Amino acid sequence: MEERIATVVMNAGSHYLLSELPEWAPFPAVLRGKVRLQKSTATNPVAVGDRVKFVTEDTPAVITEILPRRNYVIRKSTNLSRQAHIIAANLDQAVIAVSLFFPEIKLPFLDRILVTCEVYKIPVLIVLNKVDLYREDAPEAVAAFHRIYEGAGYRVIETSCKTGEGIDELRDACSSKLSLFSGESGVGKSSLIKAVDPSLDPKIGKISLAHLQGKHTTSSYAMYPFRGSAPKVPRDSSEPAGYLIDSPGLRGFGLVDLEKEEIAKYFPEMLRVADDCRFTPCTHTHEPGCAVKAALEAGIISPERYNSYLGMLEEDGKFRKG
């Protein structure tokens, strides 16, 4: 029986949809038992974005092997156990949607996502959404957010699904990429996906209804092809401009397999100056001659990011809500 290779485009519990990208033709699949039982601390052995081998003895197809991942986003499960959950794999970038208000942003939560992306070398784009609701009333807060995160080295795009501001820029930033859209519940992530391509409606999950017999998918992870804006170079109109992965809104994000001594390496602004610390290793908390604390006092490193770092040190491997 011939094995073929496909990409996981939806994960809804123990059921999956696969597609042999770049062709978009999802079909159902299940996981062979011996693959499921392989040693892993993750609650989900297969994630959206995984490339897998499969056979088609019957319907559904059977996943026989998970191919090595080049990266992934993982978080500790919310039950305080040692288990973790892989959000998505083999990404070109993570698009982290935030809103300063409605809901109010929790910077430590955002910073834990950013650290995880740094660990697995996943480029990040921060989308400051709903700016139509607070830019005029809180311009100082908007400017401060840009200062904190652009100062750390991240690109920040302001968007409004209501006015369309920033949507073209976001669409262009996602073209020719596999992008994970993630963020806290209520930040407008699904609305951003629909704004990038109005033909998509992640809240409804049409492909799940078509292929998974109406299974409950509000907590599922799904990939969508999007058409994007008019390409500069002619291409087949059936070829997607890129792929978006929609994930359920997150209410907590715990770091996984990261020692205290390593955390500072994944704050880019700290990493830039840490070689100048007097002592090695340096926790950047109490040591004399610490270049990170000097950069903090000079305003090069923001107190908000430094406080997030201190919070991660105090977590001691425990899950903590944002």
Residue 95 inside a domain? The answer is yes
Of 44-58, 239-253, 258-272, least confident by mean pLDDT is: 239-253
Residue 28 inside a domain? The answer is yes
Of 104-113, 163-172, 242-251, least confident by mean pLDDT is: 242-251
CATH number at residue 17: 2.40.50.140
Task: Tell me which residue range forms the domain holding 24.
Answer: 4-66
Residue 254 inside a domain? The answer is no
* 317 pLDDT above the threshold of 70: no
Residue 288 inside a domain? The answer is yes
Q: What is the pTM of this model?
A: 0.86
pLDDT bin (cut points 50, 70, 90) of residue 251 is low
Statement to judge: residues 145 and 239 lie in one domain: yes
Statement to judge: residues 167 and 111 lie in one domain: yes
Residue 251 inside a domain? The answer is no
**What's the structural domain count of the chain?**
3
CATH number at residue 180: 3.40.50.300
Statement to judge: residues 175 and 99 lie in one domain: yes
Per-residue H/E/C for the chain: CCCEEEEEEEEECCEEEEECCCCCCCEEEEECHHHHCCCCCECCCCCCCCEEEEECCCCCEEEEEECCCCCEEEEECCCCCCCEEEEEECCCEEEEEECCCCCCCCHHHHHHHHHHHHHCCCCEEEEECCHHHHCCCCHHHHHHHHHHHHHHCCEEEECCCCCCCCHHHHHHHHCCCEEEEEEECCCCHHHHHHHHCCCCCCCCCHHHHHHCCCCCCCCCEEEEEECCCCCCCCCCCCCCCEEEEECCCECECECCCCCHHHHHHHCHHHHCCHHHCCCCCCCCCCCCCCHHHHHHHCCCCCHHHHHHHHHHHHHCCCCCEC
